[in-house]
Amino acid sequence: MEFPLLTVTAAVPAVGAILTAAVPAARRTAAKWLALLFSLATLALAVLVAIRFEPGGDRYQLTESRPWIADFGVRYELGVDGIGVVLIGLTALLIPFVIAAGWNDADPLETSSTRWRPTQGFFALILLVEAMVIISFEATDVFLFYIFFEAMLIPMYFLIGGFGDRAHSGSDENAAAQRSYAAVKFLLYNLVGGLIMLAAVIGLYVVAGNFSLQEIAAARAAGTLDMATNTERWLFLGFFFAFAVKAPLWPLHTWLPNAMGEATAPVAVLITAVVDKVGTFAMLRFCLGLFPEASKWATPVILVLALISIIYGALVAVGQRDIKRLVAYASISHFGFIILGIFAMTSQGQSGATLYMVNHGLSTAALMLVAGFLISRRGSRLIADYGGVQKVAPVLAGTFLIGGLATLSLPGLAPFVSEFLVLVGTFARYPVVGIIATVGIVLAALYTLVLYQRTMTGPLKEEVRTMPDLHLREVLVVAPLIALLIGLGVYPKVLTDIVNPAVEHTMSDVQQTDPKPDVPVENVEAAK
């Protein structure tokens, strides 16, 4: 029997979570190193998955299929395409940095306590989220995907509500109340979306007779799947609503600024760079794969919502006074670009959207983690409490600048390639939409440069005069992310070669081809 690589890749962080949680209360440092070790082992397995994957081969590879709940047609069915491979790689890559950045975030304030183990719980929950996200990217059985799509909400709820940011201007009671509010809001929004999706999952089983993505696609191709137009549209809406909440897409986005603002910086990275990617990934795999006609039917409305997300998120980010909430609203704008690329229904748009998921994860991780290091030194999230930081902490300011420039998609850094592809792909089919979306680029430059100017330049404030620069651990967290942003900005082909064949399959699902250029290629050659 072939080695179950996908199962093991998801199981390793789950086992690590159990072992980390079991470490005795007095051995907090041992728990941290154990969690880091398991995250690195998961990264090694993710690299092996990428090596074993053949971009020009079958659509789903490294497949596993076993009976699970046979009476209801549920199978334990896994497989990865190029999109799944790069997102598994992103998840496995970021978790070690999340753990290293949050090394001291969950240490109890009262170190004499031996009954409660917050440190062990913090790192165990991070590993548990990693396991659930990875198997979500691997699942090709809709019911199996749904279980982990919903289950990851529980550890995230405790990470937001139980391990919130200690940099809070109010009292401890007020801080705890705001953390609790943010965690409950996150949970309720996503649970409502999940419940609606559950009704659609049941409806899909009634229509198709099973939950297998591959079998449903084969039945549709063979013409043996009879799905009425209205039925397909209702099922699509049930799935899309849940994914739009997770993504998040305007107007279902309001939980994100609260969650990212109240969570620690590493957990904020976990939310927007890892967990939220499950929503946009699922739009590609399940919405377009299961409901192609309904996807095309809903495209005009979704494009409008994506445009609103782009402009609204960027405009609100410009006016933010809280550093972490600014990054949260910027992420809402970026997710608008991702969804725009998906539903532009062009190969450039969908390739750009997939690259955007990866590059947004890297850029947001770099910016938010450095912001977390900054906030931990000053004890405040307010932009107005900083000024002249680059004079006393030049390495911190420099890395903050690179993370910000990546966020505004500066040419030469990785996000530029993905944003350019999304806009080109959108303009090819919907030129007006593509033109309006470019406003988001201008606004991104505004909120990023204003943030840097107000915090890092100008007169040196007395409160930051003694601020230390980045320590070795913090440099080791940020430096690889910056190197990846530069490397993938210069040479994105290493990802596009994996992603493009999967995008071709998705375009085939929705029976779309790229629009022909207004000026044919032969005419261009003749003009030369």
Cα 243 to chain centroid, rounded? 12
**pLDDT value, residue 110:** 52
Quote the CA–CA distance of 525 and 269 in Å, as a whole number: 47
Please, which pLDDT band fits residue 519 given cuts at 50, 70 and 90?
Answer: low
Question: Could you give the count of Cα atoms lying within 13 Å of 251 in the half-sphere of its Cβ?
Answer: 1
Quote the CA–CA distance of 486 and 452 in Å, as a whole number: 20
Averaged over 342-350, what is the pLDDT? 91
Please, which pLDDT band fits residue 117 given cuts at 50, 70 and 90?
Answer: low
Structure tokens at 96: 């070690």
DSSP state of 75: E
Please, which pLDDT band fits residue 280 given cuts at 50, 70 and 90?
Answer: very high
**pLDDT value, residue 11:** 95
Backbone dihedral region of 283: left (phi > 0), alpha (psi from -120 to 50 degrees) or beta?
alpha
- pLDDT tens digits, residue range 195-243? 999 999 999 888 888 888 888 888 877 777 778 889 989 999 999 999 9
**pLDDT value, residue 269:** 93
Quote the CA–CA distance of 124 and 137 in Å, as a whole number: 20
Averaged over 143-172, what is the pLDDT? 81
Q: Are 66 and 75 in contact, with CB atoms under 8 Å apart?
A: yes
**pLDDT value, residue 115:** 44
Quote the CA–CA distance of 484 and 415 in Å, as a whole number: 11
Closest CA to 190 of 262, 236, 141, 255: 255
Three-state SS for 193-239 is HHHHHHHHHHHHHHHHCCCEHHHHHHHHHHCCCCCCHHHHHHHHHHH
Residue 93, pLDDT above cutoff 50:
yes
Is 62 strand, coil or helix? strand
**pLDDT value, residue 319:** 87
Residue 114, pLDDT above cutoff 50:
no
Q: Are 175 and 206 in contact, with CB atoms under 8 Å apart?
A: no
Domain ranges for the chain, please list them: 5-516
Quote the CA–CA distance of 64 and 26 in Å, as a whole number: 41
Closest CA to 375 of 286, 474, 295: 474
Q: Are 269 and 94 in contact, with CB atoms under 8 Å apart?
A: yes
- Please name the residue that has the structure tokens 């003694």: 466
Quote the CA–CA distance of 464 and 156 in Å, as a whole number: 33
Quote the CA–CA distance of 42 and 46 in Å, as a whole number: 6
Q: Chain-wide mean pLDDT for the chain?
A: 88
Q: Are 469 and 393 in contact, with CB atoms under 8 Å apart?
A: yes
Please, which pLDDT band fits residue 521 given cuts at 50, 70 and 90?
Answer: low
Quote the CA–CA distance of 189 and 157 in Å, as a whole number: 12
- Please name the residue that has the structure tokens 């680029």: 441
Residue 12, pLDDT above cutoff 90:
yes
Quote the CA–CA distance of 387 and 525 in Å, as a whole number: 55
**pLDDT value, residue 465:** 85
Quote the CA–CA distance of 54 and 58 in Å, as a whole number: 8
**pLDDT value, residue 166:** 62
Averaged over 313-337, what is the pLDDT? 92
**pLDDT value, residue 435:** 92
Averaged over 162-184, what is the pLDDT? 73
Q: Are 45 and 131 in contact, with CB atoms under 8 Å apart?
A: no
Closest CA to 338 of 433, 248, 259: 248
The CA dihedral of 483, 485, 491, 495, to the nearest 10 degrees, is 110
Cα 411 to chain centroid, rounded? 22
Q: Are 396 and 375 in contact, with CB atoms under 8 Å apart?
A: no
Is 187 strand, coil or helix? helix
Q: With pLDDT > 70 as the criterion, what percentage of the chain qualifies?
A: 94
- Please name the residue that has the structure tokens 């965690």: 183
Is 321 strand, coil or helix? coil
First to last CA, the chain: 58
Averaged over 310-319, what is the pLDDT? 93
Residue 171, pLDDT above cutoff 70:
no
**pLDDT value, residue 396:** 92
**pLDDT value, residue 525:** 55
pTM of the model: 0.89
Closest CA to 331 of 438, 425, 454, 447: 447
**pLDDT value, residue 8:** 95
Structure tokens at 501: 């064949």
Compute how many other C-beta atoms are within 10 angstroms of the C-beta atom of residue 425: 26
- pLDDT tens digits, residue range 403-462? 999 998 899 999 999 999 999 999 989 999 999 999 999 999 999 999 999 999 888 888
Q: Are 212 and 77 in contact, with CB atoms under 8 Å apart?
A: yes
Q: Where are the alpha helices (DSSP H) in 139-171?
A: 142-151, 153-162
Quote the CA–CA distance of 268 and 104 in Å, as a whole number: 16
**pLDDT value, residue 523:** 57
Averaged over 68-85, what is the pLDDT? 87
**pLDDT value, residue 112:** 43
Kindly report which listed range (13-17, 182-186, 224-228, 427-431) carries the lowest average pLDDT score: 224-228
Contacts of 229 (CB under 8 A, 6+ apart): 293, 294
